[in-house]
Chain A
Amino acid sequence: MHVSVGFLLELGVVLVVLSVLGALARRFALSPVPLYLLAGLAVGEGGVAELPEAAEFVETGATIGMVLLLLVLGLEFTISEFSASLRRHLPSAWVDLVLNAAPGALAGWMLGLDASGVLALAGVTYISSSGIVARLLTDLRRLGNRETPAVLSVLVLEDFAMAGFLPLLAVVAAGGDWAQAVLGVVLAVGAVVLALVLSNRWGHQLGRVLTHPDDEPLLLRVLGVTLVVAALAEAVHVSAAVGAFLVGLALSGEAAQRAREVLSPLRDLFAAIFFIAVGFFVEPESLVPLLGPALALAAVSVVTKVASGWYAAGREGAARRGRVRAGTALVAHGEFSLVIVGLVGLSDGRLGAFVAAYVLILAIAGPLLTRYAPGWVRVGGPGGPPGRRVAAVTA
């Protein structure tokens, strides 16, 4: 077997550098996603330190990263949480969708992108990063807060909307007409419902078939089945990502729990490769002229996300500061905005660069905003229960 010294060295150095920067980011409760993007920019085509030997692996690894991101997302999903979120926060989900998808679509149209570009950008601005936000709420110790269930419900409903959105996007991006797009979505939604019914009725048996007391066979089985389903989904133009999401949905209970534990480290590694890949295929020069528009769109997104969080937290009866906490928590964008661009392909260099810049801004601004902005808000206001005592100073 031929061992490529260059490849090992390049990849190793990148990972070590990222681990150091990532540890630093975590200390300040920031997301490592922007670091991965920047690293990708630095080592990609036209970057400061090109890594020719690692390029092929980054490209392959990115595909696996995308599949794993969606698989673990599906594993996280439980029907009881979904139906509870739907019952309580369906209006919040609509507010979230309309307020946040519209600016993206408008921006795509103004940038002169084609239909798939406009649609992709609508998805990019719509979807918050459930990964960053959930982690942030834990790190900032907000799991006990009144607005937190609202934030998490909105995230669950966004993730579910992704399952319908991704196949639609895949069909439009493949150049299909509207009839094909509708068919693709019907197919995908049907598959999602089927996966959920499967999980609800026979999830137990399915889990027993796939699960294994030892980690290694479990990992191989789940990963193997997922990749096969992903490949089949891609073959019928439903997109590999959706296929992987379905496998995650179909597994439930104990099996899902075990699979999540075994897969998470692998997901972390390949997701990092995926984020690097997005930066990798964006040319830094193409990014510079798009920084201004990306910044403007990011500013609009901050406003619209805060508004949707404000509305959702209000339904839980949170007071003004809680509503600001909820709104600012939803600002963070990350992995799924990038998955959407990955799906359209980075063929239109401008879209990739634009979204990379946009995510870069919001992945940094989101955590910072939700950490500090509530402190700037006067306590109280409408929404809180009457006659309650209010802390003079809260961190």
Chain B
Amino acid sequence: MDVNEVLLPGVGLRYEIPVADGGLLGVVARRDGEFELMLADDDPDEPRPLLRLRRDEADALAGILGAPRIAERFADLTREVPGLQAGQVEVPEGPYGGRPLGQTRARTLTGASIVAIVRGEEVIPSPGPETVLAAGDVLVVIGTADGIAAVERLVAG
């Protein structure tokens, strides 16, 4: 898949994705966090504007579009690397609800990585150390079986 990246000085970036369904899908990521989608199917110079998304709307859309992909990729990855597993760990009402992910020091202590957080219908892919956990979150963990079990014990407190 070739994604073309065009710099829009002062405004942001434009990604151009050829879609098999026809035309060129343009995604403008504006500096202020908003997104614009457009489709060039008639005049390549002037794509048809499709949609404008606020920051939170774009997040929600990305979560929906990205969710199945994340699971798929992990399945591939764990099949390719022997000993590597993906697991799900629920965050209980415990010491880490309401605190940032970084404070669990999960990777340092267990060697396993938390690659996504599933919160209700929302998926937070590649959460950073500053991402705040909530009780009921499901952590998608990649690591050895021992490592995943250790993360489970860790978040239980």
Contact = CB atoms under 8 A, between A and B. Distances in A.
Interface string A143-163: 111111100110110000000
A2 interface: no
Contacts of A134: 10-11
Contact of B7 (A76, A81, A137, A142): A81
A322 interface: yes
Interface stretch (A10-18, A279-287, A336-344, A382-390): A382-390
B102 to A, nearest CB: 16
A274 to B, nearest CB: 21
B9 A390 contact: no
Interface string B22-40: 0000101011000010101
Contacts of B14: 143-144, 149
Nearest to B44: A388
B80 interface: no
B46 A322 contact: yes
A144 to B, nearest CB: 4
Contacts of A389: 42-43
Interface size class, chain B: 20 to 34
Interface size class, chain A: 35 or more
Given A143-B36, A144-B38, A394 B11 contact: no
Interface string B60-85: 00000000000000000000000000
A85 B7 CA distance: 9
Contacts of A318: 45
A391 interface: yes
B156 interface: no
Contact of A144 (B7, B31, B40): B40
Contact of A155 (B9, B30, B36, B38): B9
B7 A84 contact: yes
A394 B8 contact: no
A44 B58 CA distance: 47
A152 B46 contact: no
A282 B28 CA distance: 42
Interface string B1-20: 00000111111001000000
A394 B38 contact: no
Interface string A255-284: 001000000000000000000000000000
A390 B28 CA distance: 23
A94 to B, nearest CB: 18
Contact of B43 (A82, A85, A130, A394): A394
A247 interface: no
Contacts of A147: 45
B94 interface: no
Interface in B94-122: none
B8 A149 contact: yes
A187 to B, nearest CB: 27
Interface in A32-65: none
B36 to A, nearest CB: 6
A300 B57 CA distance: 45
A141 interface: yes
A169 interface: no
Interface of B: 6-11, 14, 26, 28, 30-31, 36, 38, 40, 42-47, 49
6 contacts: A84-B7, A138-B11, A143-B14, A144-B46, A146-B46, A388-B43
